[in-house]
Amino acid sequence: MQFVYRMKLLFSIVLATSLMACKKNGGTDSPASTASTMRDVAYGSDPAQKMDIYLPSGRSSSATKVMVLVHGGGWTGGDKSEFDPYIQTLMQRLPDYALFNVNYRLATSNNNRFPTQENDIKSAIEFISNKAGEYKVSQNVVLMGFSAGAHLALLQGYKYTLPIKPKAIVSFFGPTDLVDMYNNPTTTFTTLLLEALIGANPQQNLGAYQQSSPAFFVNGSSAPTIILHGGQDNLVSPTQATILNNKLQASGVAHQYVFYPNEGHGWFGPSLEDSFNKIEAFLDLHVK
């Protein structure tokens, strides 16, 4: 009996010590030891409202930053899989980041006109914020997009500060002023696309174009932004990057404009390597 009593006492001491250690180390906020990948996680009820999630090992809600990836495709096409070739590179370069690669509803004919896509990115950010504790990631968020995805990332980052105000935004050749984009199109398809997306032209509904333009929401407290654009871009004019660069400069927002004079609407090889180098340095400087 005395032996059993001693064993029970020893077990109680060990259990109490373990609980105290967990509490001291942050309880549920203790680092997650293993990496995890989750595909097609729903953030809404529509089949298109899905995201792929890449959680690093050793993560914690105090130290692990978040990068949200938004694909391009002219708001009418594209898929989160376009980022798949870059996931490993981003994970290697930014090991203290969790990646959330987002799909959104696409505009088709008279369905899902803007701001459907804007609202979906907003819903995705709200989902990530609500799940931060469960995923053991922080509220330090970076938004990055290509083309139309960059437009959506910029619009989300400048227009909304709740539930999360991003720490930085990365724009690869994103539209920034839809009024200017309509009035100075690179192709005749540009005006048709914008009319179908918004449901009007700027003369008919100037407010809708302005409300859909990231440049109209820049102010002195906007997130640090790095803009990357090609001089030979025949889909999104480099003027769009210049407009945003000038707005950020006038508002005193930390930013960097990286211009590739010989690149078009997207690039690979040494230029892409240079882009990743500059993005990494920019985030190291501005996201703590």
Query: Which regions of the chain are under pLDDT 50?
Result: 1-28
What pLDDT score does 29 carry? 54
pTM for this prediction: 0.89
What pLDDT score does 226 carry? 99
What pLDDT score does 110 carry? 82
What pLDDT score does 153 carry? 98
CA distances (Å), 155 to each of 9, 94, 137, 161, 213, in order? 60, 24, 23, 11, 7
- Choose which CATH entry (1.10.10.10, 3.40.50.1820, 3.40.50.970, 3.90.1150.10) describes domain 34-286: 3.40.50.1820
What pLDDT score does 109 carry? 77
d(CA 213, CA 152): 9
d(CA 74, CA 51): 19
Q: Is the peptide bond before 95 cis (omega within 30 degrees of 0)?
A: no
